[in-house]
Chain A
Amino acid sequence: MSEFAQILRDKKLDRQSPDTSTMIDNITTDQVRRHLAQPPGRYSIDRLMALLSPAASELLEEMAQQARQLTIQRFGRTVQMYAPLYVSNVCVNSCLYCGFNCQTEFSRTRLTIDQAVKDGKVIASEGFRHILLVSGEDTKYVTNDYLAELAQRLREDFSSVSIEIYPLDEAGYKNCFDAGIDGVTLYQETYDRDTYERYHIAGPKADYDQRLDSYDRAARAGMRRLGLGVLLGLADWRQETLALAEHAAYLMKKYWRSQVSFSFPRLRPAPHVAEEYEHLVGERELVQMMIALRLCFADAGIVLSTRESAELRNNAVNLCVTRISAGSKTNPGGYSEEDDSTEQFVIADDRDPSEVAKMIKRAGREAVWKDWDTSFTA
């Protein structure tokens, strides 16, 4: 068992338990106040438990004020812009919640390098300099060589390229890093082993531990940015957040050269998916989760995608968000093709990037299109 898997097990966080829930439910407002009175930005599991508790929900405004102050103190008034580029919706896995699930039938699309570069040009013309390459688990086509070559080509237009694809081995990550890919986003989806098993019924992704270890491999390969998250809706969000925070704390201490960020993907309607979810997370809870994580991790990136509504995003930029996507298309070729291929999920904020940038400005923030340059590392 890997070092982190052992940590999760020792802390009883790799399986959700009614005991933990009861513990969180029993936290009092006074206890929350005590944690809020301590300097914000430091993680301890007790502090996070308190901030996630139902009792803390009553103190959300106070928490929000602290989170905002701390974010400005550590990041300034900036919000970094990025856009996803979906390169393939072929997938060998069958995650029950996903529209790219290999068991659903629709015509699959893979972008050739040239096609992907064409989409990239559109994204670059909108102002973006940070791009995130997204793909299903398509190991046959979206290979290491494909990624490396694509990254090399995109470097003409982008100053930073990240990937959100299937887990690679360490050599694979290193290869990508050398080609100019400097960030990896990967969601464990759920830290609860039973839920994980239930939703990942076949394919390589069914291996919980293999996925959990990927973050170590990416960090060892030198990746500068590690994006973490859970898919909100699969299991109790409070317990998921505790496991997620432990993961972040572990990675931050062990691989201190990499920056950890959190994303908050909430389950959204997706084509061909008819699942009903027991643990859907409401807006208020989502905001509490974001703020609680900020108050425990002063320097973590907090990312918000176009899965969320314009109204929520308008307000969240003033809370603690440091990175935001805009104008996203979640279907391969979606930026340059007229004809729409199947989307992974339906986006909720469809404003174009310049409108989002204006919104950020109105909120008293500055949209930053470039804050890194791949040529520093590759």
Chain B
Amino acid sequence: MEKLKIADKEFTSRLFIGTGKYSSNADMAKAIDASGSEMVTVALRRVDIRNENDDMLAAVDRDRCVLLPNTSGARDGEEAVRLARLTRAASGINWVKLEVTPDPYYLLPDGGETLKAAETLVNDGFVVLPYINADPILAKKLQDVGTATVMPLASPIGSNQGLTTRAAIEIIIEQATVPVVVDAGLGLPSHAAEAMEMGADAVLVNTAIATAGDPAAMAEAFKLATEAGRTAYLAGKAAISKTANASSPLTGFLRD
């Protein structure tokens, strides 16, 4: 299957994985392995990024996976920029998943602050992957300032509700010039498949895997679903029965 290209990196797997909420780092390592994922996000506030031996970092196979630091916990653009810069200084990683979530309950992203921070970080040389509400106009503005992807949420983070923002995500996919990664709210492998069937370039899953009875098995299920959805998208879906409503002919005036 053709690869996904983000900035200067290519990915075979289109499933990105989060690292929060696992009951142990061992479970997490097994789940990441089973997912086949090559992009793993990690919350900066959770790890000591300087320290290769940090428990969580040590559990991620860095040869196979790109580590994508995220700015979760940032309440405004300035905080997010500061977090990103600190990480880069400590780790040399200049990729960042930009999350600005002032609301501590639903963790919904602040579009205005995200746009401001994205512009600053892009100008600063970062590869920026912004987490956003499924807002087509915001997605366009972000790609205009040079973000490497857009990552609209499928439903509120951790809610496992699936694609409640489907109509808006369809518009984002149709119009985007950068890869679209559906992030947050995917609760079941079928949700991931649905997003991929719609033409999303990748999906990001955390809670649904981390809190499953058997995270590794669920990770594998998501892997298969993501691949199935992508294959279906590429195959071109068959028609849902649709015959034109017969009405008075519109082309009768044309003479051959």
| A contacts, CB < 8 Å to B | 34, 37-38, 42, 60-62, 64-66, 68, 252-254, 256, 283-284, 287, 311-312, 314-315, 318-319
Closest to A66 in B: B244
Given contacts A253-B175, A287-B254, A315-B253, contact A65 B140 (CB under 8 A): no
User: Nearest 7 CB-CB pairs, A to B?
Assistant: A37-B239, A64-B250, A65-B244, A315-B253, A62-B244, A284-B254, A64-B251
Apart from the given pairs A61-B251, A312-B253, 4 other A-B contacts in the complex at a CB distance below 8 Å: A61-B244, A61-B249, A65-B244, A283-B255
The reply to whether the CB of B174 lies closer than 8 angstroms to some CB of chain A is: yes
CB distance from B211 to the nearest CB of A (A): 36
Q: Could you say which residues of chain A place their CB within 8 Å of the CB of B242?
A: 37
| B contacts, CB < 8 Å to A | 140, 174-175, 177, 236-240, 242, 244-245, 247, 249-251, 253-256
Tell me the dominant secondary structure on chain B's binding face: loop
Tell me the dominant secondary structure on chain A's binding face: helix
Q: Could you say which residues of chain A place their CB within 8 Å of the CB of B175?
A: 252-253, 256
Question: B174's contact among A42, A61, A284, A315, by CB below 8 Å, is which?
Answer: A42
A-B residue pairs in contact (CB < 8 Å), sample of 18: A34-B239, A38-B239, A60-B254, A61-B250, A64-B249, A65-B247, A253-B177, A256-B140, A256-B175, A283-B254, A283-B255, A287-B251, A287-B254, A311-B253, A312-B253, A314-B253, A315-B251, A315-B253
Contact A65 B245 (CB under 8 A): yes
Q: Could you say which residues of chain B place their CB within 8 Å of the CB of A312?
A: 253
Question: B177's contact among A64, A254, A284, by CB below 8 Å, is which?
Answer: A254
Q: Could you say which residues of chain B place their CB within 8 Å of the CB of A65?
A: 244-245, 247, 250
Contact A284 B256 (CB under 8 A): yes
Question: B250's contact among A68, A284, A311, by CB below 8 Å, is which?
Answer: A68
Q: How far is the CA of A62 from the CA of B174 in the complex (A)?
A: 25
Q: Could you say which residues of chain A place their CB within 8 Å of the CB of B249?
A: 61, 64
Q: How far is the CA of A186 from the CA of B177 in the complex (A)?
A: 25
Q: How far is the CA of A312 from the CA of B255 in the complex (A)?
A: 11
Q: Could you say which residues of chain B place their CB within 8 Å of the CB of A315?
A: 250-251, 253
CB distance from B128 to the nearest CB of A (A): 19
